[in-house]
Amino acid sequence: MSETTLLNGWGRTAPTPAVLTPVHDDAEVRAVVQAAAAAGRGVVARGLARSYGDAAQNAGGHVLDMTAADAVLAFDAETGLVDVEAGISLDELMNRFVPQGFFVPVTPGTRLVTVGGAIGADIHGKNHHVAGSFAQHVRWLDLLTADGEVRRVGPESDPDLFWATAGGMGLTGVILRAQVQLKRIESSRCLVDTDRTPDLDSLMTLLAETDHLYEYSVAWIDTLAKGKRMGRSVVTRGRFATLDELPAKRRADPLKYHGSIKISVPDVFPPGLLNLATVAAFNEVWYRKAPTRKRDQLQSIPTFFHPLDAVGGWNRIYGPRGFVQYQVTVPFGQEEAMREVLDRLSSFGTASFLAVLKRFGPGNPGMLSYPSPGWTLALDIPVMKGLAGLLDSLDEVVVAAEGRTYLAKDSRVRPETFAAMYPRLDDFRAIRRRVDPDGVFTSDLARRLSL
């Protein structure tokens, strides 16, 4: 049933109302798209709403709830190619295919994203430096465009539309189905190495020198550490264990997998509970408890990839005013810009839990795809006084370094700043004009940034 609903993103900021319609098949999607075209405020698809900002909101218009269409349509156990409806989550893909010896090609820090959303945001994970982003593992997708037609689009068959849709935040049409190349695994356990680095220099050196030895790599930075300790981090890197690397007792059931949410955060957190004192104390404990160096530790998929998924609704801890995630990347050679960003954040005193730093590998042809070779930093910041000005000034540092911000995380970048970050924005706009001349597909994000 369609119903006007106040929608917000994971950061719980700037909610707006839209007519939300759960859709189960192509005909239902088409009907809503046609209704939206007539009503004049457009439509956008919404998955599991893990984008932090306003990507899956459409004030005064229509929003499609895609999560009802979540079937596996075909699976080839020889090749690992799976055809799915776009509303299926990575969580469900893992539940189904890890026991059969296949993992998703790319996973972000949460399993709770849909395949449609993973393509729309062209998500990346800890293996970006070797595997690229999600869209690079998509063989084709079925896109319902503004004319009501369903087009099968692939990187070979219609590269322009494919690479506008990958990372295109749902603005080229509705992704209905996709074929995804899964990754073969022998076990559901990861072999993880942990290293603690005392500052930013040693962190960047460690990652630059040895990242290529690992399939998965990420560093958690304490953004509240200042001065000589600025950038102190815990680096965890690993790969899936092979059968003979498992201890004997696990070899009987090497693909055993259980990815459930254990506890939920109640919606009662007052604003300001997370302040500098509490967060700094947490970060200190977290840094101290990590081993200086540890090798070949066996970890489960949820522990290694999705630690926060164990806590349902963790975004509520930031209280009713919500939070933003600031994620930016700067190219290799611009390490000083990254240092300046971190330095300004730590001296401003944003009460941020651990930030994430990672080295990206090569980018892809996606016009609005975020990953590009260099360093990417992501951190959550509760909404506070002066934050708008601070982040605008950090954006200037990033733009000067020819870096960029990630649309799936964004809720506040200036439109002209965004345009300076994505030189292919005009190509993207040209594709949109071709497939959606009347601008039926739109969102709060698209309006805010004049995409």
Partner 1 sequence: MIDALGSPSSLLLVGGTSDIAVATARRYLQERPLRVVVAARDTPRRAAVADELTAAGAAVEVVDFDADDAGSPERVVAAAAAGGDIDVAVVAFGQLGDQDALATDPAAAAALGQVNYVAPVVVGTVLANRMRSQGHGAIVALSSVAGERARRSNYVYGSTKAGVDAFYSGLADSLVGTGVSVLVVRPGFVRSKMTEGLPEAPLSTTPEAVAEAIVTGVRKGRHTVWVPGAMRFVMSGLRHTPRAVFRRLPF
DSSP code for 146: T
- Taking each continuous run of H as one helix and of E as one strand, the counts in the chain are 13, 21
DSSP 28-90: HHHHHHHHHHHHSS-EEEESS--SSSSTT--TTSEEEEGGG---EEEEETTTTEEEEETT-BH
Residues ≥6 apart with Cβ < 8 Å to 250:
187, 189, 256
Q: Which is nearer to partner 1, 290 or 317 (CB)?
A: 317
Q: Which is nearer to partner 1, 94 or 383 (CB)?
A: 383
Question: Does residue number 448 form part of the binding site for partner 1 (CB under 8 A)?
Answer: yes
Q: Which is nearer to partner 1, 64 or 178 (CB)?
A: 64
**Sign of the dihedral through C-alpha 96, 99, 103, 107:** positive
Q: Distance between CA 53 and CA 118 in Å, rounded?
A: 15
Q: Distance between CA 47 and CA 114 in Å, rounded?
A: 6
Q: Scan residues 30-69 and list those touching partner 1 (CB under 8 A).
A: 41, 53-54, 58-61
Tokens representing 198 are 């005392």
* Region near partner 1 per CB under 8 A, out of 13-21, 26-34, 280-288, 305-313: 13-21
DSSP code for 267: S
String of contacts with partner 1 for each residue 297-336, x by CB under 8 A: -------------------------x-x------------
Q: Scan residues 358-387 and list those touching partner 1 (CB under 8 A).
A: 383, 387
The one among 2, 17, 286, 349 contacting partner 1 by CB under 8 A = 17
Q: Scan residues 111-170 and list those touching partner 1 (CB under 8 A).
A: none
Q: Distance between CA 81 and CA 108 in Å, rounded?
A: 20
Minimum distance, C-beta of residue 399 to partner 1, in the bound complex (Å): 14
Report yes or no: 193 and 207 within 8 Å, Cβ to Cβ: no
Q: Which is nearer to partner 1, 11 or 254 (CB)?
A: 11
Q: Which is nearer to partner 1, 162 or 441 (CB)?
A: 441
Q: Scan residues 223-262 and list those touching partner 1 (CB under 8 A).
A: none
Q: Scan residues 271-290 and list those touching partner 1 (CB under 8 A).
A: none
The one among 139, 152, 250, 414 contacting partner 1 by CB under 8 A = 414
Phi and psi, residue 217, nearest 5°: -150, 135
* Count of residues engaged in binding partner 1, rule: CB under 8 A: 31
Minimum distance, C-beta of residue 265 to partner 1, in the bound complex (Å): 20
Residues ≥6 apart with Cβ < 8 Å to 423:
none
Q: Which is nearer to partner 1, 98 or 378 (CB)?
A: 378
Q: Which is nearer to partner 1, 54 or 65 (CB)?
A: 54
Q: Which is nearer to partner 1, 11 or 125 (CB)?
A: 11
Minimum distance, C-beta of residue 449 to partner 1, in the bound complex (Å): 9
Q: Which is nearer to partner 1, 166 or 394 (CB)?
A: 394
Minimum distance, C-beta of residue 53 to partner 1, in the bound complex (Å): 6
Minimum distance, C-beta of residue 387 to partner 1, in the bound complex (Å): 6
CA 281 to chain centre: 27
Closest CA to 296 of 198, 195, 206, 221: 195
Q: Distance between CA 49 and CA 7 in Å, rounded?
A: 9
Closest CA to 340 of 348, 211, 423, 353: 348
String of contacts with partner 1 for each residue 386-405, x by CB under 8 A: -xxx-xx-------------
Report yes or no: 24 and 69 within 8 Å, Cβ to Cβ: yes
Q: Which residues bind partner 1 (CB under 8 A)?
A: 6, 11, 13-18, 41, 53-54, 58-61, 322, 324, 383, 387-389, 391-392, 411-412, 414-416, 444, 447-448
